[in-house]
Each structure stands twice: as C-alpha cells, then as structure tokens.
A and B are shown apart, each in its own frame.
Chain A
Amino acid sequence: MSLVKTFDEEVLIEEQGFDDHFHEHHHEDKYKSSFIFKYIFSLDHKIIARQFLFTGIFWALIGAAMSVIFRLQLGFPDESVAWLKPFLGRWIMINEETGMGTLDPQFYYALVTMHGTIIVFFVLTAGLSGTFSNLLIPLQIGARDMASPLLNMLSYWFFFLAGVVMFFSLFLSTGPFSGGWVAYPPLSALPQASSGSGAGMTLWLVSLTFFVVSVLLGGINYITTVLNLRTKGMSLWKMPLTIWSFFITAIIGLLSFPVLVSGFFLLMSDRSLGTSFYLSDIFINGQALDYVGGSPILYQHLFWFLGHPEVYIIILPAMGIVSEVLSVHARKPIFGYKAMVYSIASIAFLSFIVWAHHMFMSGVNPFISNFFVVFTLIIAVPSAVKVFNWITTLWGGSIRLNSPMLFAIGFVSLFISGGLTGIFLGNSALDIQLHDTYFVVAHFHIVMGVAAFFGMFAGIYHWFPKMFGRFMNETLGRIHFWITLIGAYMIFWPMHYLGMAGVPRRYYRFDSFDAFGQFTTMNEFITIAAIIVFFAQVLFVVNFIWSINHGKEQTTKNPWLATTLEWTTPIKAGHGNWEGNIPTVHRWAYDYGKDGEDYIPQYIPLTEKEKAEIDNH
C-alpha cells in the first residue's frame, strides 16, 4: 500500500492543514461580482497569470513575424517582397519599372529593434516570469493569493499599457524606434540621426518606463509573498526550485530595473531638455550641435547594469521550471537541491558585477575589463554545476517523455550549446574579434532566446492543466518540440560560422562587403528554417487555444503525480485556491522514488523512520 494512498488527501489537509479562517472572512469568492472584475480587472493571481501569458503569446507572434520578415531580407535580398506592401505600406519600396519590391533599410532596422525589445521584455520577461511567478508562487508556497492582489493587478495593467504604447509606435509615419534594442545614444537621442529616433523613440521610452513600473510592482509582490505568505512548515529550504528562481529573479529585477529607468530619464532629458548627459562633440546634418561634455559610454553602463541581470531575469525562471519538470517526469529528486539554490543565488549576485563585458570594445579603459572578464567567466562555474545536476537528475530515473519533459531536455541541450559560447565571448581578448558579429547573435539566441522559450514551453505544457483544467494535445506538442528544436539549431548553429568568418550583426545586406557576402546559401538555409519554425509556433498557438476548451479533460487533481502543493487545489480552483484549510508542509518538494514510494507530496507527514533519520543528523 503506497504511502500516498494510505492518506486521504482532503482529510489530511483538513486535519493537519492551517486554518486561516478564510471562509469566515470570504464566504466563497467575494470578488466574484461580475465578468469584468473576474476576468479583466481580476485580483486573482491565477487569472493575472493567464493574462500575462495571453499577452505574452500575442507579442511573441508579432516579434516572431518580424524576425521572419527581416530574415527574408537577409536570406533573399534580391527577391521581390512587393506582396508585403498591403501590410507594411510605404516601408516596401516598389521599383516602378521592374515592379520589384524591397524592404526599406530604415524599416529593416526598426524590425530588428522591435523584435529584440518585444521578445526580451514583453515575451521573455513579462510573458515568462510574469506568467509563472503569478501562477506558481501562491500555489506552490501555499498562499491564497499574492501579498497585494491590487499591486499584482496593476502590474499586469502597466504591462498592458506599455504594450499599447509600443504597439501604437509601430504605426508612426516615421516608423518605430530603429536604433537597436539597446538604444545607444547618440543614435537614439537624435532624430536627425535616424527617423525612428523621433516619435518612435519617445514612445519606446514611455512604453518601457511603464514596463519597468509593471516589473517593479510585480517583483516587490513576489518577494513579499515568498517571504511572508508561505504556509505552515514551508521553510525556505522546502521551497521548490521554481519558487527559488522566481524569488531571486524578482530581487534581481527590483535592484536593476530602476537603474535602467534612471538611464532612460537622462536620455529623455538629453532628447527634450537640451542636457548633455550622453552627448558631446556632435556634428550631424551639416550642423554642430550645442551638446558638450556628455559621454555616450555612461548610458551603456546604466543600460547594461540592467541589461546583463536582465538575461538572468529571463533565464532563471526557465531554469526553475525546467528543474521542476525534469524532476517530476524523471520521478527523481532534483540532484543537488542546495547546490542548485546556491548556484541560482551566485549567478544572481555575479550578474550585477559583469555588465561591462558588453562594453569591452566600446572605448572603456582596457584595464578595467580585467575584472569583468574574471567575474564573467566565474559564472560558468555555477552554470556548469546546474547542467551537471540536471543531467544527473535524469540518471537512474524513470523518465516519462511527454511534451513538457522533451522541452525540458531540449532546454538543457540549448543551455549547454549557448552557454559554452559565452566562455568565448566573456574572454575580452576573443571579444575583440567576436564582438557584434553573428557569433554573438548565435550565442544569445540559443542561450537566452530559444532556451528560455523552451523553459516557457515546458512550463506551459506542464501547468496547462493547472491553468485551464485540460491538457494540451500531446502529439501536437511533440511535433512542436521536434520542429522547434531541430529548426532552432538549423537557424542559430550556422550563425556561429558567420560570426567566425567576421560577419557583423545588424547588416541590412551582406554583399556590400566581399568578406561578408560569401554565405548566400547559408543565409537562405537559415531563412527557410526560420519560416518553418515560425509555422511550428503557429501550430503551438492553435494547440494552445483549441485545448483551452477542447483539450483532454483533467480528471484527477494531480495528473503528473507531483509532490508540490499546486496539485492539491480543486481542478477549477476559485480565488483563494483552497476551499478549506491550507495544506501544511512537512517535507521538501522532491521526495520522488524515496523508500520505494513513487512520490510523497509535501503535505504528507514524516514517517517515524524519517523522523529518526533527521534526529540522527
């Protein structure tokens, strides 16, 4: 008789659980007043999580479609794109004689810029961390909701507002901002330098400022919730790795995003108040400007002080999700739980003192780069520890290879491939050659782009039942996985070679240089792969939307036989998550395969034998 079955879960939770007098205060869901407050201006973290996810998917489709358009330009620069005229209007230039349509270089750069901004901030920050932090923090620590549901709601609506402003900027006659997602001045400061640096840049700055407000409101809430609202027995060392990663991600965000905003404020005042924080000695459009004494490099310091932690803000939640998914579906404890926590924490700490490795070639004193090289390459150690721990988690497991698990394994592969190239780029001497080439594009797309998406997909397939009470279709999930994994490697692996051949990133076409124009076939190949992968994501979205109402129904509370608390709520949980008492926690989240048991959920009390073991330690 298995331990799980000896207990009746509901009885156990009622008996052992923590009574917070929820019912006396709330009598059902007191917020359940109308459609608008239940589904739109909702205070329920589960609804807000879904709002983040839907918005994230919307932006992911836009960002991905943009990449397909600029990949067409790079793969087939001499093919007519006149057929895009109905969508892009005057950004497609038609040659009157031949009818040949070409993409305006200005808009090419706008697409590249928007692709980066949208994917980094709206999809992989809000869509990934926003979705899963909201969904899982209260559910996995045993809380009824976030510490402040109101701030949580505002967090989403500020994100929404940021999206509205950014979306609007796509339709400006001067085009959206086109100076790269890093928005380095003077290019981003001077409308004379690029038409996208006019109104497009103003809206970009406004949008991202709203976005940072959203991140801060969310982050402070996640931190408070994790620190204060854990259920009885849920000590920090009993938290699942998902919670650890969301918690630390929120701390990083809270400490680094304000610096970005201060950088933005200085840029705004250079743009509109005539200050010279970033500008000096500029002659443009036949005119010497009045700015003197500013330094464009100052902006880069402020930007990358966020910008580098930002990549961990993106990847840490994915790591947490993958750790959880690997463990559940391998039916094994995550290997080296404490080492995993310490490595998340040390990666987070180090992420604050490596920012200038983006700036080795930007004119900073070469001496100072020594420190940044050392700190940067130290990050490889906790990252390696994580990889070895994930692989060892698989060792000796009893692995279910379903869609979430496949994506989690794919994540580990991508994280290895993309992480290793970081060792090249972090070494300043190699960065002399590789900086701003396609090698960099390959590196960060694999390690924080595709890998983070894989973490997100693993999470979506895994927790879809928690969100919608149904499963996503497995077969479509596997098709999605294989096309995406193979396709992603077909897109980004060859880019290493482009980079090693010296081809710079952000080129509208390569044939202006003999040295860069020799990879026509490779660029066609990459573009075709990108188109196929794009359609695979459409397949995912169809599966996602269709499954919400038509997917296989969830019949048991705990379909994956997982140990964590989110699977103890009713299938369609209302606001407040648990109808009765909140479960109390007795053990960590990874008792899989212990003492011959398949799994022992966290709410199950320790056996006499286990108590004795703990006493002995």
Chain B
Amino acid sequence: MIGLLIVGILVLITIIAIQIGKVTDLTSEIRGEEVVAQRITENQSRWLLVFCAVFLIYCVASAIYYKNSMLGYGPHEAASAHGVRIDGLFNTTLLFTGIVFIATHIALFWFAFKYRRKEGVKSKFFAHNTTLEYVWTGVPAVVMVLLVVNGLVVWNDVMPDIDPSEEVIEFEATGYQFAWDIRYPGPDGKLGTKNFRLIDGANNPLGQDWSDIKNVDDFHATEIYLPVNKKVRVQITAKDVLHNFYLPHFRLKMDAVPGIPTYFVFTPTKTTEEYREELSKYPEWQVPYDESDPNGPQRWELFDYELACAELCGKGHYSMKRIVKIVSEEEYNDWLAQQTSYYVQNVRNTDNDPFKGQLLDYEVAARSAELESEFESAIIMDDPSEASIRLTNVFFNTGSAELKADSKYELDKVAEILKDYSDVSIEISGHTDNTGNTDSNLILSDERAKTVTNYLINKGIVASRLKSVGFGEARPADTNDTAEGRQNNRRIEMRIISQNI
C-alpha cells in the first residue's frame, strides 16, 4: 500500500514538475525574459534575507532548547576530572566559531540582498586588496594558534599513561561481538596475562593464562564499579574486531584493538548518586521513567552511567551496554569484598589448573584465618578439650610418616598460635582409615602424630606443651565405605588439653 503511495507521489511530482516547467517557460516568453529574471532576483534576494534571519534564530533557539540535554551543560557537567577541561575547550571553540558563523552568514546573505542586480547599477571592479587579504589570513591564523595551543595542552595532560610508581585502580575491558567483559585485578592489584589461544568460551572467556599467578585473584564483573576521586586506568582490548570503549558522561573514548592493548587514565569525580541528585533538579527528569507507570520511579532515580561501543563492530554494535557505578570508597570496598576470583570459582583444582594439588597463597591465608578462628572459638568453650580441631592441610606421603611440603604452612600457623597462647597445651592425634592391617595403622598414626609434634618442637614450641597420640582406625570421623569417607578419616587432629590461666 505504502509502496503504491510512493509510486503515486513520484508520478505526481513528475507531472507537477513538467506542468510548472511549461507554464513558467511560457510566462517568461510572454513577459520578456529580462523582466522575469529581474523580478525573480528581487524576490529571491528578499527570501535569502528572510532565510538568513530565520536560520540564525533557528540555530540559536534550538541550541537553547536542547541545551540541558547536551553533555557539558545543565545537569550534565562532566563526571571526570579531565572532562571538565574538554567541556571548557568546547565552549571556547564554540565562542570563536559562533562569532564567525553569525558574522559570515550575515555578510553573505546581506551582500546577496544588497547587491542584487538593479537596473542601471554597475558592479564594482574590485579584484583584490592586499591589506584586507593579510588581515583575514592573519586573524584566523592567530585564533587557530590559540585554539591549537589550548587543545594540545589539554590533550597532553589527558592522554599520557600513568607513571609506574603512581597508585591507580586498574581494570580491564574486553570488547567482543557483542558485549564487554570486565576484569579487575583482585587484591594483588595486577592483571594476569592473557593469550587469545587460551580463550575457551565456557571456561576461560578472556584467555587468561592460569600459570600466571597474577591471574589467580582476578575477578570478572558484570558492572563496572569505581570509587569516586581515585585515579583509574582502564586497559582496553578486543577479542575479535575493533570496538570502542566509550563512556560519554566521563568524556572518554578509546578503540579496543585485537592484538594491541590500549588504555585510558581518568578520575571519576561524581558518584552515580550525586549525578542523580543533580538531574533531579531539572523538570524533564522529574517524570516517570516508564510512561505507562506514572507512580513508578522517576527518570532521575534510574539514571546510570553507561558504557557503550563507538566503533562499528557488526550487526549488534548498537547493543553493547554495561552499567557503570561510581560509588564512595567504602561502598567500593564492600563491593570488592563480595567478588570472587574467576579462577577460584571455575578453574581451581580442575584439569585446567596448573596449580592443581598445590596450595596457593590465598588458600594458605584463608586456611590460617580459619584455623585461628576455630582455635579461638574452642578456647572460649567451657571445656576446650571437647573441641577437636582438624588440621585439614597436613598431608603425608602414602603409607609413610613423612610430611608433604604443603603441610608446613598449616603447621607453621599452629606454631604461631601456640606462641600467642603460651599457656595452652595441646594433644596432637593421628588417625587412619580401615584399609590394611589394624596394628600397622595404629603405628602409622602414632608416627604421624609424632612427626607433627617434632615439627612443632623444631619451630620452638616447648615439648611439654605437646602430647602426641595415635588412634589408628579406632576413631573414624566418617564412613570407611567410600573413598571420600576414608580420605576424611585419614587425618591429624588437635585438641586443647589444658590451659593455665
């Protein structure tokens, strides 16, 4: 239907055009070409003048009308430290170009009107004027120098990378068709290395090299959280094609290039909350976010900073969105505390884990903290001797009483605790599962307990505070029918036996 309509319109235009053509050619023949041409010039010169006036008013009026929705104006003051300077430069440029725009347009259209052809008036033979030409070469040159210098000062302040000694919050954004992956370095503050050949959609979306210990604590996030007023360096990469990391409210934009990591350093200066508050002062933001739900939240309440893609990357280019939250430092730390490393969640002790079977620093630290809290909760019990604390990370070679190297972290922690609680004596007990000979199990468990006490003595704990005992398979903690249960039964336990207050 609309197709037919368009064909109809086209046919109509053709017919009308041809008719107008015929009629006007005829009139100019009748009235005389010169007369008609003169009348047209008169009319057109007036229309040009009208156009000039209306056009300039339209430009200024529309700019005022849209002012508050443009970044840099009204509620949209830049949310980053460097953004304010970019906005300032924009306004300086706007001032100069605005003057030139208005002045040249007035001159252009006014001259076209004033010097329209008139009967008997001849044109001036004015072909050049050296002074005039020097002036209008010189003045733009000076203005340009001013703008260039201004611009380059800002540019060279904004763009450099950080000094390696500088303290900065770093995170990484990786663009792909059609989303962003966000990665934070975790507590060590360092992003682990990546290799595109290691990318595996399900288990390693970024191609992190798990043999790089820096990767162990890196976590992935669905939203970008950043603390206000802290310098941030975003490392920008891409997996497949070009993307562009674009944060309009922060005046930030940088291509994501496969194979060539890029960066941008910036300091957010306004929290999401502060930006919302600023918006709430403007009536156009005090309307329901969802028109169909007049009692729902207002537009300003749901404002969020957005990350977009600004480099054509395929058919989903327009949909690469992530929310950015700028928060106070405390909120940021709370958020950090809730994040779990991708490695720990998805890779640790799987076949992909190069550290499988080894203890990693973070695990040692976590276990130490756990052991300490178990000990502390035992010691405040009415009868601390009722609590058995299992030393989960003490391992022996199979069938032997020789400690595995991994076990030492935990035993060192036990020694540390015993030094802190110098009035406590403990019993170290060894246990086995029910495989093999009962007697030899008993001997093995006894020897293992002794190895542990000897280790502690070597660490400077007085032997009198330590008692070692082997129970063999007599006190299973779990069933002996499954491998898992048997594993649980092979253990070293620690028990507080006396405490002199």
Q: How far is the CB of B132 from chain A (nearest CB, A)?
A: 7
Q: A497 to B128, Cβ gap below 8 A?
A: no
- The 8 A CB mask of B113-139 against A (1 = contact, 0 = none) is 001111001111111110011001100
Q: Which residues of A contact B140 (CB under 8 A)?
A: 380-381, 384-385
Judge whether B71 is part of the interface by a CB distance below 8 angstroms. Answer: yes
Q: B144 to A594, Cβ gap below 8 A?
A: no
- The 8 A CB mask of B304-323 against A (1 = contact, 0 = none) is 10101111111111110100
- The 8 A CB mask of B17-58 against A (1 = contact, 0 = none) is 110110011001000000001001100110110010001001
Q: Given A283-B196, A361-B253, A497-B66 in contact, is the A430-B25 Cβ separation under 8 Å?
A: no
Q: B248 to A427, Cβ gap below 8 A?
A: no
Q: A391 to B315, Cβ gap below 8 A?
A: no
Complex alpha-carbon distance, A406 and B47, angstroms: 11
Interface residues of A in 289-338 (CB under 8 A from B): 292, 294-297, 330-338
Q: Given A433-B71, A542-B13 in contact, is the A512-B18 Cβ separation under 8 Å?
A: no
Sample (11) of A-B pairs whose CB atoms are under 8 Å apart:
A109-B312, A294-B259, A336-B129, A361-B244, A361-B254, A363-B255, A363-B260, A384-B137, A395-B111, A432-B252, A590-B127
Q: B128 to A336, Cβ gap below 8 A?
A: yes
Interface residues of A in 380-403 (CB under 8 A from B): 380-381, 384-385, 387-388, 390-392, 394-402
Q: How far is the CB of A76 from chain B (nearest CB, A)?
A: 12
Judge whether B405 is part of the interface by a CB distance below 8 angstroms. Answer: no
Residue in A283, A288, A296, A369 with the greatest tally of chain B CB atoms within 10 Å: A283
Q: B240 to A436, Cβ gap below 8 A?
A: no
Judge whether A16 is part of the interface by a CB distance below 8 angstroms. Answer: no
Partner of A539, one of B1, B13, B85, B89: B13
Q: Given A413-B105, A475-B21, A500-B72 in contact, is the A429-B151 Cβ separation under 8 Å?
A: yes
Complex alpha-carbon distance, A554 and B304, angstroms: 66
Q: A391 to B72, Cβ gap below 8 A?
A: no
Q: Which residues of B contact A412 (CB under 8 A)?
A: 108
Q: Given A370-B156, A380-B144 in contact, is the A512-B318 Cβ separation under 8 Å?
A: yes
Q: How far is the CB of B26 from chain A (nearest CB, A)?
A: 10
Q: A377 to B306, Cβ gap below 8 A?
A: no
Judge whether B414 is part of the interface by a CB distance below 8 angstroms. Answer: no
- Report the interface size class on chain B: 35 or more
- The 8 A CB mask of A468-502 against B (1 = contact, 0 = none) is 00000111101100100110010001100100111
Q: A396 to B116, Cβ gap below 8 A?
A: no
Q: Given A474-B40, A512-B318, A514-B303 in contact, is the A186-B21 Cβ separation under 8 Å?
A: no
Q: How many residues of A contact B (CB 8 A)?
A: 136
Partner of A281, one of B117, B136, B196, B302: B196
Which residue on A lies nearest to B117, using beta carbons? Answer: A398
Q: Given A187-B242, A187-B314, A476-B20 in contact, is the A398-B260 Cβ separation under 8 Å?
A: no
Q: A109 to B306, Cβ gap below 8 A?
A: no
Interface residues of B in 137-187 (CB under 8 A from A): 137, 140-141, 144, 147-148, 151-152, 154-156, 158-160, 176-177
Complex alpha-carbon distance, A430 and B251, angstroms: 9
- The 8 A CB mask of B347-370 against A (1 = contact, 0 = none) is 000000000000000000000000
Interface residues of B in 312-349 (CB under 8 A from A): 312-319, 321
Complex A-B, nearest 6 residue pairs according to Cβ-Cβ distance, in ascending order: A502-B248, A280-B259, A396-B124, A366-B159, A427-B151, A281-B259
Partner of A401, one of B44, B93, B108, B197: B44
Interface residues of B in 230-286 (CB under 8 A from A): 239-242, 244, 246, 248-249, 251-255, 257-260, 262
Q: B155 to A363, Cβ gap below 8 A?
A: no
Q: A427 to B148, Cβ gap below 8 A?
A: yes
Judge whether B59 is part of the interface by a CB distance below 8 angstroms. Answer: yes
Q: A421 to B97, Cβ gap below 8 A?
A: yes
Q: How far is the CB of A331 from chain B (nearest CB, A)?
A: 4
Q: Which residues of A contact B124 (CB under 8 A)?
A: 332, 395-397, 593
Q: Given A333-B125, A361-B244, A401-B116 in contact, is the A497-B69 Cβ separation under 8 Å?
A: yes
Q: A378 to B254, Cβ gap below 8 A?
A: no
Interface-facing stretch out of B2-10, B441-449, B487-495: B2-10
Complex alpha-carbon distance, A486 and B54, angstroms: 10
Q: How far is the CB of A272 from chain B (nearest CB, A)?
A: 18
Q: Given A388-B136, A427-B93 in contact, is the A297-B318 Cβ separation under 8 Å?
A: no
Q: Which residues of B contact A279 (CB under 8 A)?
A: 258-259
Complex alpha-carbon distance, A595 and B125, angstroms: 8
Q: Which residues of B contact A504 (CB under 8 A)?
A: 246, 308-310
Judge whether A509 is part of the interface by a CB distance below 8 angstroms. Answer: yes
Partner of A473, one of B25, B126, B303: B25
Interface-facing stretch out of A31-39, A83-91, A127-135, A202-210: A83-91
Complex alpha-carbon distance, A83 and B129, angstroms: 60
Partner of B258, one of A296, A489, A507: A296
Complex alpha-carbon distance, A233 and B37, angstroms: 35
Q: Given A187-B314, A284-B177 in contact, is the A429-B86 Cβ separation under 8 Å?
A: yes
Judge whether B207 is part of the interface by a CB distance below 8 angstroms. Answer: yes
- Which residues of B are at the interface with A, using a C-beta cutoff of 8 A? 1-3, 9-10, 13-14, 17-18, 20-21, 24-25, 28, 37, 40-41, 44-45, 47-48, 51, 55, 58-59, 62-63, 66, 69-72, 83, 85-86, 89-90, 93-94, 96-97, 100-101, 104-105, 107-109, 111-112, 115-118, 121-129, 132-133, 136-137, 140-141, 144, 147-148, 151-152, 154-156, 158-160, 176-177, 196-197, 199, 201, 207, 239-242, 244, 246, 248-249, 251-255, 257-260, 262, 302-304, 306, 308-319, 321
- Which residues of A are at the interface with B, using a C-beta cutoff of 8 A? 83-84, 86-87, 104-106, 108-109, 178-180, 184-187, 190, 193-194, 279-284, 286, 288, 292, 294-297, 330-339, 361-363, 366, 369-370, 373-374, 377-378, 380-381, 384-385, 387-388, 390-392, 394-402, 406, 409, 412-413, 416-417, 420-421, 423-424, 427-430, 432-433, 435-437, 473-476, 478-479, 482, 485-486, 489, 493-494, 497, 500-502, 504, 506-510, 512-516, 518-519, 522, 535, 538-539, 542-543, 546-547, 550-552, 590, 592-596, 598
Q: B315 to A420, Cβ gap below 8 A?
A: no
Q: A187 to B144, Cβ gap below 8 A?
A: no
Q: Which residues of B contact A598 (CB under 8 A)?
A: 122
Q: B17 to A543, Cβ gap below 8 A?
A: yes
Q: B93 to A436, Cβ gap below 8 A?
A: no
Partner of A542, one of B18, B59, B133, B240: B18
Q: Which residues of A contact B44 (CB under 8 A)?
A: 401, 406, 478
Complex alpha-carbon distance, A283 and B24, angstroms: 65
Complex alpha-carbon distance, A510 and B317, angstroms: 11
Partner of A429, one of B17, B24, B154, B244: B154
Complex alpha-carbon distance, A193 and B313, angstroms: 8
Which residue on B lies nearest to A195, using beta carbons? Answer: B315
Q: B93 to A288, Cβ gap below 8 A?
A: no
Q: How far is the CB of B260 from chain A (nearest CB, A)?
A: 6
Q: A497 to B63, Cβ gap below 8 A?
A: yes
